[in-house]
Structure 1
């Protein structure tokens, strides 16, 4: 055996040794090799002027036939044809949930709070875990903004019966809050949503700043605007720093193909379907004309992109390196 062969053999033995040692140790302890390699939640960081933006993936959920949620006023084959055209399956879709942190230098502002405790059994509710991975703790948050009060946006407000963001004040729309806490919701289709609001939002009311229908500032450089339809008081937020802009569109559009290419199509979870369609066209006409980026809570992670006007709606163009230059 020559020297080169001996060295190669020794190297292979050295590489194999740790694995042998691990197997031996596991065998001695009776532990299985079936290890679950849990990864931290996905996060994505970029700048809008001097503001740091961190998108956090609270989780994702697979659902059944897309046509049961999007294009509910269309024939199933019409919805399927558009999905096929865009290289998407026709029998299922995946919905992601993307809360956003914005560090302005003076405040750490969280927009929406994900599923919270109720989602963890199904792999969601990972906001606080993602924040920690990005270098933030829940107590760092100084303002929590609620775009609206559906369960996947307010579920993370409480943790074990206490406020999850101990040092925060809150901002949301007056119209949205008034709708959900109104006793008239009891016994209606909105009763389930109301229970979540009464449990998670109402206990925080003394710390909430309410925005009227005309909108208003959260802080300098972040302005709320009415975008009603998906919910009674749904709002979007315009972020601007050093001439750079980002629209936090929340649930104005919930699917990057079905809601954007066909904004007129009805969506199951839009509470006022005609108003939601009108709002979609108004908001995304503006986004397309101004060539400004938007962040949609349910867009493909990291949930940021642009839209190009099409005859029937808009084409989604994912963000790449625009904010890195």
Structure 2
């Protein structure tokens, strides 16, 4: 006979979400999406923002219009090619946000060690993409990794004249942090001059505008492909419904708009799957044309690998 229920006090609620990670296969590649953090976009960071249009786009997907900014995720991706472990971006690092977890916590939980990473692809040098490169004391967290980034990107953030011109911009404070983060990897860095394959099945593609050397990464294996477009889109709903909305911290908002529209047209027309640094976790899905804009369709959870 079962015992009667014992009286008890209030049941405590959990304070944190579970760690974010998701694996899926792309041909012979296995991709692990890792949630590094979340951050909040203020409305004023969206150039051409229109509250009525935002409310309409969000309402179609049963999402409320927030009053205190838009929460977006920060993702990193580990690509297991079978021969190499490739990490795309390193998240915001320690103290980046109030998220209880970070790339390095979830890297361990995903079964990887920082020492095992062979190649790091930095899509661009913004703090939420390079912050995890180093410890608080400035030491390299990935001692065995070759770091690949575009030469245009490296040169821009190391140019004192550009730093001076940007002193009053939203990204002006990023110059010193970018230089400090990349400094421990000077001997391990490879600056890319043009689009092309950097490893079998892994191709970098310049997607300028957000920053001068902002890159996407095309992954291809066994006839399947996915474009990791980095920061082409920051808000999954608003910038797809309104692709002309650029960001205040784009170094060239107009070029960013042009690049975004070009790529959105291409991936929707050619039905190319996409990954994004700030798309709703795990950031994997397809884009389809809808009205004057687009809509994101996430790929369902993969139950088997």
Taking structure 2 as the reference length, the TM-score comes to 0.89
Q: Which residue of 1 aligns with 2:81?
A: 104
Confirm or deny that 1:224 pairs with 2:204.
yes
Counterpart contact for 2:157–2:163, Cα < 8 Å: no
Using the alignment, how far apart are the partners of 2:244 and 2:29 within structure 1? Answer: 34
The whole-number CA distance in structure 2 between the counterparts of 1:260 and 1:36 is 33
State whether residues 23 and 302 of structure 2, in contact with CA within 8 Å, keep that contact through their aligned partners in structure 1: no
Corresponding residue number in structure 2 for 1:196: 177
Determine helix, strand or coil for the equivalent of 2:246.
coil
Tell me, yes or no, if the aligned pair for 2:277 and 2:283 is still in contact at 8 Å: yes
State the SS of the aligned residue for 1:78. helix
How many angstroms apart in 2 are the aligned matches of 1:322 and 1:172?
31
- SS of 2:156's partner is helix
CA contact (8 A) 2:197 2:204 kept: yes
- Where structure 1 has 5 or more consecutive residues not aligned to the other structure, the ranges are 1-6, 24-32
- One of 48, 61, 65 as aligned partner of 1:86: 61
**Matched residues in 1 for 2:187 and 2:158: separation?**
14
After superposition, the Cα gap between the structure-2 partners of 1:107 and 1:228, relative to the gap in structure 1 and judged at 3 Å, is: same
**Is 1:310 aligned with 2:290?**
yes
Q: 1:266 to 1:210 in 2, by over 3 A?
A: same
| Cα distance, 1:170 vs structure 2 | 0.7
**Distance change (3 Å), C-alpha of 1:193 and 1:133:** same
- In our comparison, the structure showing a higher alpha carbon Rg is 1
Instruction: Give the TM-score normalised by the residue count of structure 1.
Output: 0.84
The number of residues matched between the two structures is 297
**Secondary structure, aligned partner of 2:52:** helix
Q: Could you say what the CA RMSD is over the residues aligned between the two structures, in angstroms?
A: 2.4
Deviation at residue 260 of structure 1 after TM alignment: 1.1
Partner of 2:93: 116
* Matches of 1:149 and 1:239, distance apart in 2: 21
CA distance in 2, matches of 1:244, 1:303: 17
Q: Tell me, yes or no, if the aligned pair for 1:230 and 1:269 is still in contact at 8 Å.
A: yes
Structure 1 CA distance, aligned partners of 2:90 and 2:20? 15
In structure 2, distance between residues paired with 1:225 and 1:125: 30
Q: Does 1:282 align with 2:271?
A: no
- Tell me what 1:141 maps to: 117
Which of the residues 16, 26, 38 maps onto 1:48? 26
Give a deviation string over 1:208-244, Cα, whole Å, max 9, x none.
11111x3122211000011000111101010000011
Does the 8 Å contact 1:116/1:125 carry over to 2? no
Q: Which of 224, 246, 252 is equivalent to 1:244?
A: 224
Is contact 1:57-1:127 (8 Å) kept? yes
Counting only pairs closer than 5 Å after superposition, residues 125-274 of structure 1 correspond to structure 2 as: 126-159=102-135, 160-187=137-164, 188=167, 189=169, 190-212=171-193, 214-274=194-254
Q: What is the Cα deviation at residue 59 of structure 1?
A: 1.4
